[in-house]
C-alpha cells in the first residue's frame, strides 16, 4: 500500500506531532504509516482523510502487488 500522508501534511503545514494529536495516535504511528511500516485501520484512514478533507483513496492506494 502506498500513501501520501506526508504530502497532505506538507500541504496543511502540519508536523507528524500535529497530525498525531489531531487524530489521537502517537507520532510514531504517523511515522510508521508514512514509511509504509504500518497499514492503518479503516477508522484511522478515514480520520486522516476527514482531517485533510479528501477522499481516503486520495491518500491511500493499493500497490499492484497488494
Q: Residue 27 is part of a domain; what is its CATH number?
A: 1.10.260.40
What's the number of domains the chain is made of?
Answer: 1
DSSP symbol at 4: -
Q: Could you tell me if residue 41 is inside a domain?
A: yes
**Cβ partners under 8 Å of residue 8, min gap 6:** 48, 52, 54, 59
Q: Could you tell me if residue 39 is inside a domain?
A: yes
Q: What is the pLDDT of residue 9?
A: 97
Please check the confidence at residue 12 and state whether its pLDDT lies above 90. yes
The residue segments making up the domain with residue 42 are 2-59
Q: Could you tell me if residue 26 is inside a domain?
A: yes
- The per-residue pLDDT for range 32-63, each reduced to its tens digit, is 999 999 999 999 999 999 999 999 999 999 88
Q: Could you tell me if residue 24 is inside a domain?
A: yes
The whole-number average pLDDT for the span 28-35 is 98
pTM: 0.91
Amino acid at each position: 500500500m502506498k500513501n501520501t500522508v506526508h504530502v497532505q501534511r506538507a500541504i496543511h503545514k502540519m508536523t507528524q506531532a500535529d497530525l498525531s494529536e489531531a487524530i489521537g495516535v502517537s507520532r510514531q504511528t504517523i511515522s510508521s504509516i508514512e514509511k509504509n511500516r504500518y497499514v492503518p485501520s479503516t477508522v484511522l484512514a478515514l480520520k486522516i482523510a476527514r482531517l485533510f478533507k479528501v477522499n481516503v483513496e486520495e491518500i491511500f492506494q493499493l500497490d499492484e502487488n497488494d
